[in-house]
Amino acid sequence: MEWEQPYSPRSPTGTQGYYTPTNDANGGGLRRRTGNTYMTPEAYSNSSTNGSGKSKSYEKTMKKRLQKLDMFPKVEQDLQMSAEPNSALNILATVLVVIIVFAEIYNHYSINNTMVQHITVDKSLGTKMRVDLDITFPALHCNDVHIDIMDVAGDAHNDVHDTMEKTRLHLDGSRLSEDEISVSVNRAHQKEKAALEALDKSLAKDYCGPCYGAQTQEGQCCNHCDDVLKAYEDKHWDANAVKMLAEQCIREGKTKPKKLEESGEGCRIAGFMEFGRVNGNFHIAMGEGVERNGQHIHTFLPEDTSRYNCSHIINKLQFGPVFDNDVGDLESSFGAMEKTSLNGVKKIVTEENGISGMFQYFIKIVPTSYKGKKLVKEIQRDFDMSKEPLLETNRYFVTERFTPLVEVDEEDWEMGMLVSQDDDEQDIAGTKVGGKTGLGHDNEHLKQKAILPGLFFIYQVYPFAVEISKNEVPFMHLLIRIIATIGGLYTIAGWLDSVLCSKKKKKPTVF
């Protein structure tokens, strides 16, 4: 039989429950049955105060544990030695950092302005090469100035005049006026016309000279040499080939070497030429260049050799296009003795250095290209940047040689003493060349060489090309170097400081 008796409705702890009788083997009695828990305001207040204290204590404990948490082992306190920082070492490290940082910045911007050269194989050997030239001959008539081109491939062009312009000059370098030129031309034309009229009188009235296949219509006549040459030029045929065979030219004497024009004028020849990118030469030499039996020869009168004054001034010689601003210098790549330009070269011959002679310029042509937007913009300001930033040209290097026409041939020749024979015989002067006997003296003889006076430009095209670009180092590279420099210097300073501290620690203490 169970019965329940309500407990006090509000216990001191604020817990409401009931006592239940039990038949326990150990003894009877009442057992408290727990029921709904209820706390009084006073008990709740005391309970909150005790919980808040416990929470703060727990936070402090966790904080201390977290502070003690360390992934790296620490040196025990007994093994540590406090040392004052080395101020002199820190100042030295800071000064070195500042110096090296400024050096890195200067080096960065100086490297960005340097030119980088790369050697590559030239792939443009099948293209044409343009040569711009401007040469002045102070004492040579324009009628005696002819440019001939020939190369190792067998191509030859005689008297290139389509793209060249000649300007007649006075001896002082000033240009002849139009009136002076017209008077001179008229005088020469009248002289030639009179000679042709004299020849025409010896011909039959119904004479019709052949045009040798160059006639443009049936029945066309070429009565004079100039008519034949013009007909060949109109068809772009080799006029020099027919000149030596045409009866008109033979009759007029144009197959014979021309006599040099009288001195008293100069000539300036300027223009451009185009030829293949193979080794060869172009020259301005005495006489008229012709092709005979596959060979290039010059015809001239030997007595005019000493009158051919090939003094010259090279105003411009350029292989390839000309840019607004040329940069770079490859002179050091091929030796300091070689010139990188002939512009402005002046050569004057006189009686003291040979009267005339042969000037030879040995030219080494190196195909060159400029790459990169920054570099191309500096060279050619109006370059279209929508295209690939590439400029192609040719650089050249020159060595020169001069061979005088006349040189001094020094020989010792001596005149022997008069040898007296008998009284009735005539005195005989004994001579000996190069001997050592008798009374004599040294004499100088002028010896003329078998050379062709003129200017010869012998060029050689190299099979490799040079690519020039401007070195561009990114700014991030500079930043990385500065950071590495600062870190490295302070690391070394730390090592030095530790060495000094270790020595200080080992130093014995005096009590």
- In three state form, how does the secondary structure of 11-42 look? CCCCEEEEEEEECCCCCCEEEEEEEEECCCHH
- Write down the pLDDT at residue 337: 36
Task: Residue 323: name the closest of 385, 270, 393 by CA.
Answer: 393
* Cβ atoms within 10 Å, residue 414: 19
Q: For residue 349, give the 3-state DSSP assignment.
A: coil
- Write down the pLDDT at residue 182: 78
How many C-alpha atoms does 327 have within 13 Å on its Cβ side? Answer: 21
Q: What beta strand segments (E) does 352-427 contain?
A: 357-371, 390-404, 406-419
470 pLDDT above the threshold of 70:
yes
* Separation CA 61–CA 70 (nearest Å): 16
Find the mean pLDDT for residues 340-360: 87
- Write down the pLDDT at residue 267: 94
- Write down the pLDDT at residue 442: 44
Find the mean pLDDT for residues 22-32: 50
* Separation CA 177–CA 165 (nearest Å): 16
Residues 175-214 have pLDDT tens digits of 888 887 777 777 777 777 777 777 777 888 888 989 998 8
- Tell me the C-alpha to C-alpha distance, in Å, between residue 496 and each of 75, 92, 229, 277, 486: 20, 12, 94, 65, 16
| Banded model confidence at residue 4, pLDDT cuts 50, 70, 90 | very low
419 pLDDT above the threshold of 70:
no
- Write down the pLDDT at residue 74: 67
